[in-house]
Amino acid sequence: MTETAFIAFTTFFATIGPLDVAAIFAALTRDNSIAERRRMAAKAVLIGGGILLFFAVFGKAVLTSFGITLPAMQASGGILLLLIAIDMVFARDSGGTSTTDAENAEAKARKDVSVFPLATPLIAGPGAIGASVLLMAGARGDYVNMVIVVAVLLAMLLATYLLMLLAGPVQKLLGVTGLHVISRIVGVLLAALAVQFIFDGVRDSGLLS
């Protein structure tokens, strides 16, 4: 139970990236009123969270409909998470948890950034969606572990919302160096988990038997 919670926390913290989301939110909404910022933050978390919960609950069925096996998802998801982890360790922006320059330019031209780029691809990006499917599938029907995964996801979404509202003070408190230190520590843990996902996928596929 504790192991499941730790794995889910580390994975969702890395793939959703609440600190990164908060920093981008602060930059994109600096000219908005407090009421508008609260509304956009809530809308972004609700939509992004809804997407992640959908894939957490129905992700396995979606995989089955496309003929994708759980071992294949474990291996491919592990590779994606490993790439994200490597970028975190070296304090680089990751394609699985960030936006492109073109997307940033489009976002700056929008008055409401809650759906794009906040809800997706920042909160519910490829990494977080893959993690939702992977963690729920990894519970293997154990309802206690499934509830733990969903609970950790909801807690991470709440943390993301609160950090978005407190983005300015948090950035001043931690500074760039502090944010990078946290990112590197989580990146190392995520790398180990990602490799384990890959190993589990290869083992369960029967390729080595």
Domain of 62 in residue numbering reads as 2-205
pTM of the predicted structure, to 2 decimals: 0.85
Whether residue 103 has pLDDT greater than 80: no
Q: Are 60 and 133 in contact (CB under 8 A)?
A: yes
How confident is residue 173, by pLDDT bands cut at 50, 70 and 90? confident
Residue 101 φ then ψ, to 5°: -60, -40
CA-angle at 45, arms to 156 and 72, nearest 5°: 65
The pLDDT assigned to 136 comes to 94
**Could you report the per-residue pLDDT of 63-91, keeping only the tens digit for each?**
889 998 889 988 998 999 999 889 888 87
Between CA 180 and CA 79 the distance in angstroms is 22
Whether residue 92 has pLDDT greater than 90: no
The domain tally of the chain equals 1
Whether residue 48 has pLDDT greater than 80: yes
User: Which string of DSSP letters, residue by residue, matches 46-81?
Assistant: HHHHHHHHHHHHHHHHHHHHTT--HHHHHHHHHHHH
**Could you report the per-residue pLDDT of 19-34, keeping only the tens digit for each?**
889 988 988 888 888 8
Q: Tokens 């991470």 correspond to what residue?
A: 156
